[in-house]
Amino acid sequence: MLNKDAKEEVLIEGELLSQSLASLTSWHIGGIAERLYYPPDVEKLSHYLNTLSLEKPITWLGLGSNVLIRDGGIKGAVICTRQLQELYQQADGSIVAQAGVTCAKFARFASARGFADAVFFAGIPGTIGGALAMNAGAFGGETWEWVEAVTMINRQGQFTKRSANEFDVGYRSVRSKQGQPLQEAFIEGIFRFPLRQHTEGKNSIRELLRKRSSSQPIGTLNCGSVYRNPPGDFAARLIEACQLKGHQVGDAIVSPKHANFIINLGHAKARDVEALMEIIEISVLSQFGIKLFAEVKILGQKED
């Protein structure tokens, strides 16, 4: 009989080996994943995790809209949740959404059922799993304002349901009550909104997206906002004040439209983006004494 360590060296059903991750990110940047797995449902995901060695690193990936994957790729297993698409309303009025549901789809679903407060989700360019993990927000709304409970999965593939009050939630931050980084992954969220029936749900979403398009470089290769806004200020204002709009390293450029966006002009590498981020951070710290903190998550290994 194979032991746990021996089993992990065998290709598991549905796994892909040595796969480029560039096409799975909104920046179209990223190296090779040692292993890549798309769970078709949570039962298969549980089995997959139970099969992996506990020493095997795991990286979770949704739409890839808030990540920079380095050119050297990612060791271990990358789990892409895009096929986890269950979305439904329960008898008590709450909405259940699995991790792979896009926030735009969630906004349309909730809005169509009279939950006007969910419209802001249309402005989050990611999935529910990612929104839960970082308390994503847009247009003044934040994900965890509306979370009632979540289902999480651990390294052994075991599910645990947790209430919202078991977490410390802040601006683009979700941690355990003990202040520790989360050791489990969000696999499902249960949301509750007050019923505020309106007849312009679709129009409201279109108007919010129109406003976003007028101020952000929609249609370009970008990851969304690169930096968190510092208290009482805006990262974009600080970057623009450093005259960095249009500043370029390789094929990575600070958006001339919105300074908190970095655009891949077509052939940018992760090293170009990181070099540009270093210039931004040094410039803002030098000119304003403010340290910018990245909202984008940097994953993987630098290229040798």
Digit-by-digit pLDDT tens for the chain (304 residues) are 333 443 445 577 789 999 999 999 999 999 999 999 999 999 999 999 999 988 999 999 999 999 999 999 999 999 999 999 999 999 999 999 999 999 999 999 999 998 989 999 999 999 999 999 999 998 889 999 999 999 999 999 999 999 999 999 999 999 988 777 788 999 999 999 998 765 555 677 777 778 777 778 989 999 999 999 999 999 999 999 999 999 999 999 999 999 999 999 999 999 999 999 999 999 999 999 999 999 999 999 998 7
Dist. CA 144–CA 198, nearest whole Å: 23
User: Which residue in the list 111, 172, 188, 255 is annotated as catalytic?
Assistant: 172
Evaluate whether 87-213 and 218-299 have a shared fold.
no
What is the CB-side half-sphere exposure of residue 174 using CA atoms within 13 A? 24
Span 4-80: which CATH code? 3.30.43.10
Buried b / exposed e along 106-127 (16+ C-beta atoms within 10 A): bbbbbbeebbbbbbbbbbbbbb
Active site residue 225: yes
Total-model pTM: 0.89
Domain regions of the chain by residue span: 4-80, 87-213, 218-299
From its phi and psi, is residue 193 left (phi > 0), alpha (psi between -120 and 50) or beta? beta
Determine which one of 46, 111, 225, 255 is catalytic. Answer: 225
Of 3.40.50.300, 3.10.110.10, 3.40.50.970, 3.30.465.10, the CATH number of 87-213 is 3.30.465.10
Q: Where are the beta strands (DSSP E) in the chain?
A: 15-20, 32-37, 58-61, 67-69, 74-80, 87-89, 95-98, 137-138, 141-142, 147-153, 159-163, 167-170, 173-176, 185-191, 248-249, 252-254, 262-264, 297-299
CATH architecture of 218-299: Alpha-Beta Complex (3.90)
Q: Which bin fits 268, alpha (ψ -120 to 50), beta or left (φ > 0)?
A: beta
DSSP state of 120: G
Active site residue 274: no
Active site residue 214: no
